[in-house]
Amino acid sequence: MGFRMGIVGLPNVGKSTLFNALTKTAAAQAANFPFCTIEPNVGEVAVPDPRLDRLAGIAGSKQIIPTRITFVDIAGLVKGASKGEGLGNQFLANIREVDAIAHVLRCFEDGDVTHVEGRVDPIADAEVIETELMIADMESIERRLANLARKLKGGDKEAVAQERLLKQALAVLEAGQPARTVEVAEDDRKAWAMLQLLTSKPVLYVCNVAEDEAAAGNDWSAKVAEMAAAQGAGHVVISARIEEEISQLDAEEAALFLGEMGLDEAGLDRLIRAGYDLLGLQTYFTVGPKEARAWTIRKGTLAPQAAGEIHGDFEKGFIRAETIAYDDYVAGNGEAGAREAGKLRVEGKTYEVKDGDVLHFLFNA
Distance (Å, rounded) from C-alpha 105 to C-alpha 116? 13
Residue ranges of the alpha helices (H) in 175-294? Answer: 189-194, 219-231, 240-246, 251-260, 267-279
Q: Are 94 and 81 in contact (CB under 8 A)?
A: no
Say if residue 14 carries a ligand binding annotation.
Answer: yes
- For 10-68, the DSSP string reads STTSSHHHHHHHHHTS--S---SSTT---SPEEEEEEPP-HHHHHHHHHHT-SEEE--E
Say if residue 190 carries a ligand binding annotation.
Answer: no
Nearest to 115 by CA among 87, 72, 82, 76: 76
Say if residue 236 carries a ligand binding annotation.
Answer: no
Kind and range of the H or E run holding 305? helix 303-308
Say if residue 234 carries a ligand binding annotation.
Answer: no
> In the chain, how long is the greatest CA-to-CA distance?
68
Q: Are 18 and 12 in contact (CB under 8 A)?
A: no
End-to-end CA distance of the chain: 22
Say if residue 199 carries a ligand binding annotation.
Answer: no
Q: What is the DSSP letter of 290?
A: S
Q: Are 292 and 56 in contact (CB under 8 A)?
A: yes
Distance (Å, rounded) from C-alpha 188 to C-alpha 204? 24
User: Which residue pairs, CB below 8 angstroms and at least 24 apart, start in 126-129?
Assistant: 126/205, 126/224, 126/227, 128/10, 128/77, 128/78, 128/79, 129/8, 129/9, 129/10, 129/77, 129/103
Say if residue 24 carries a ligand binding annotation.
Answer: no
Computed over its alpha carbons, how large is the radius of gyration of the chain? Answer: 23
Binding-site positions read 12-17
Binding-site positions for ATP read 12-17
